[in-house]
Amino acid sequence: MKRETKITSFKTQLQQTIWIPLSITMIIGLSSAAWAADPFRQKNPRDIDKYTEQAFETIFFKGDYKTVNNELLQAEAEKPDEPLTYALLASLAYTEKEKDWEGIKKYADKTLESAQLLSQSDPLRGNLYLAVGHFLDGAYVYQKDGALDAINKLQLVFKYLDRAEESDPNDPELNLIKGYMDLLLAVNLPFSKPEQAIARFESNAAPGYLVDRGLAVAYRDLKQYDKALEYANKAIKAAPDNPEHYYLKGQILRQIGKKNDDIQVLEEATQNFTLALNKSAQLPDFVLETLEKENRLTQERIAELKSGQVNSQN
């Protein structure tokens, strides 16, 4: 598939998917080793500070977006040259009810500055976060100036992803971030073959529960609901405290129940929506809005089906 085709399609989804390569949830065990914590690698870990890892776990392992800002500010103070910290701060600015576009711009620039410095000692992570920084900056340009002006930024995203891949095509951090982008494109572009993107993501990305979550989303969008449900259950097993995983499982069950007019499956969907809503204080407002809407629509459909059953018996 031509790179130009990818860019043209990708621009139309830029705004609503900005955090996909950032909201890459994963199993993270806090490290007690002397080496700083690396949530991505068991072998050859990088020097990522413990506060960034803790913040990462709070957001994506626990699914708590609301209490993490202080951890990230502490991470910024302790290790101001870590680009992942700024990428996470930018993604949090995006989750605000009134999106903080100037905050996104500020932290996109800091991501780029720290990534440029890092690229001298670690070309893989440096180039990877140059791609992320341009992605974030491209979202700001998209919002302020429109899609056409964001195209150059997207070209830079792919350029630096390619450079990072030259350093180590099997690196788990690279494959997690790039894999989410590849899956997004693969399941949305006509005539694409998502199997290759799925296989590479499953084989090379890490840690595991974010891989399971990403695959559940991919199979959901491909309408392969049995496979989607399998991976959603794996994500829940690995990270049972994250309400977004129950929301995702509820979405999948809702689609199965709607397709088959199956009241029992639809009720199971609402049970999972309720589990997510029980931790609504942790979720971004726009996630909570769609969760509440899907829960309401599912309950309405259950009521319609039950009413139809009663009428048919009378």
What percentage of the chain reaches a pLDDT higher than 70?
A: 86
Read off the pLDDT of residues 126-137 as tens digits, 9 standing for 90 and up: 999 999 999 999
Q: What is the mean pLDDT of the chain?
A: 85
- Please report the pLDDT score of residue 5 as a whole number: 45
Domain of residue 249: give its range. Answer: 207-314
Q: Are residues 193 and 213 in the same domain?
A: no
Q: Are residues 30 and 41 in the same domain?
A: yes
Q: Are residues 169 and 305 in the same domain?
A: no
Domain end residue (candidates: 183, 205, 227): 205
Residue 201 has pLDDT above 80, yes or no: yes
As a whole number, mean pLDDT of residues 292-312 equals: 89
Q: Are residues 227 and 156 in the same domain?
A: no
Q: Are residues 295 and 217 in the same domain?
A: yes
Q: Are residues 62 and 195 in the same domain?
A: yes
Q: Are residues 113 and 220 in the same domain?
A: no
For CA atoms 256, 261, 264, 270, give the dihedral sign: positive
Question: How many other C-beta atoms lie within 10 A of the C-beta of residue 186?
Answer: 22
Structural domains counted in the chain: 2
Q: Are residues 102 and 49 in the same domain?
A: yes
Residue 3 has pLDDT above 60, yes or no: no
Cis? peptide before 207, omega within 30° of 0: yes
Domain end residue (candidates: 205, 237, 259): 205
Q: What is the pTM of this model?
A: 0.84
- Between 9-23, 59-73, 76-90, 106-120, the lowest mean confidence (pLDDT) is in 9-23
Domain end residue (candidates: 153, 175, 205): 205
Q: Are residues 188 and 225 in the same domain?
A: no
- Please report the pLDDT score of residue 26 as a whole number: 27
